[in-house]
Amino acid sequence: MRIKIADVSGFCFGVERVIELVEKKSKETPVDTLGPLIHNPVVVRELEKKGVKAVSSLKETKKKAVVIRAHGVPPDIYREAENLNINLFDGTCPFVKIVQNMAKKLCEDGYEVVVVGKKHHPEVIGVVGYTNGKALVVSSPEEARSIPLKKKRVGVVVQTTFRFDVFAKCVEELMRRAHEVRVFNTRCSDTDRRQEAAIKLAKEVEVVIVVGGKNSSNTRRLYELTEKQGVKAYHIESPDELKSSWFNGVEEVGIIGGASTPQKVVEEVVERIKSFEISHHS
């Protein structure tokens, strides 16, 4: 059985960066993270073992330093940290920073800001904060059609990991309703490259194993995309979920890790699949 790993797999730039930040800072001083650092329970558990806790608010921490994750936060968190005398180490991904800055600028320039994205996603909550809570959030063309607009000048940004086709349809709907629509395509290129790699992989193998947190929307999307190509696909979080029966008679297996999946877990998955083959032949 041949095992192929996708051209883009494992941590994206922003996640790699924030993990390095936590590792570096936690050696210097005790730190917590505001929210789980990434959508991957394996990594979150490992951090906990090192004493880095995911707190849901700044008030909850007993430490003097907290790391902001790649998704970013609304600006009032920085003010709250100052009041509580907590040192913030900012791991906001630079691509997310662009979305925040664009939303802020559009708001200051008098546009009605629309964020295309998932309302409850931490990144979107952070971005909306940069418009003093004024931005409207839409996640579907239907919402873009019906959301109450107060102005005829609309400024649009999009969540970094949002689907391009749905984003474009939302923009089209807004264009039917406004005189001016200023659009910034703030999607992150990692998402596209990874999705293209998943599609390519699915066309080359018989079975695809998508590795990543079940709560990671980018990983779930990779699973959907691979399955759509007509290949047998499985979404797992850890090698323990693998079943040897999935590989009976299979010659080529493809593996892809989500943006928050450590390379180590991908390698463990490879090893486990290889071990099935050995036990099968012995």
Active site residues: 123
For ligand SF4, which stretch binds (CB under 6 A), given 92-100, 142-150, 164-172, 238-246? 92-100
161/226 with CB nearer ligand SF4: 161
Per CB under 6 A, the segment of 10-18, 104-112, 130-138, 202-210 that binds ligand SF4 is: 10-18
92 binds ligand SF4 (CB under 6 A): no
Tell me the window of 11-19, 112-120, 201-209, 230-238 that interacts with ligand SF4 (CB under 6 A).
11-19
* Residues 174-181: contacts with CB under 8 Å, at least 24 apart: 174/114, 174/144, 174/149, 176/145, 177/145, 177/149, 178/112, 178/149, 178/151, 178/152, 178/153, 178/154, 179/152, 179/153, 180/152, 180/153, 180/154, 181/154, 181/155, 181/156
- Asked whether 65 and 29 are in contact (CB, 8 A), the reply is yes
What character string, x for contact with ligand SF4 (CB under 6 A) and - otherwise, covers 47-76?
-----------------------x------
**Contact with ligand SF4 (CB under 6 A): which of 9, 40, 131, 160?**
160
Q: Select from 221, 217, 214, 212 the least CA-distant residue to 261.
A: 212
CB of 191 to ligand SF4, least distance (A): 6
Under the criterion CB under 6 A, does residue 186 sit at the interface with ligand SF4? no
Q: SS3 for 267?
A: helix
One of 42, 96, 137, 197 touching ligand SF4 (CB under 6 A): 96
Q: Sheet holding 112-116: strands in order across?
A: 136-138, 112-116, 153-158, 180-183
Q: How far apart are CA 215 and CA 235, in angstroms?
A: 11
Which ranges constitute the DSSP H helices of 92-163? 94-108, 122-129, 141-146
> In whole angstroms, how close is the CB of 83 to ligand SF4 at the nearest point?
28
Using CB under 6 A, count the residues that bind ligand SF4: 14
Least distance between ligand SF4 and beta carbon 269 (Å): 21
Shortest CB 233 distance to ligand SF4, Å: 21
Q: Does 208 help bind ligand SF4 (rule: CB under 6 A)?
A: no
Which residues of this chain interact with ligand SF4, rule CB under 6 A?
Answer: 12-15, 70, 93, 95-96, 160-161, 188, 190-191, 259
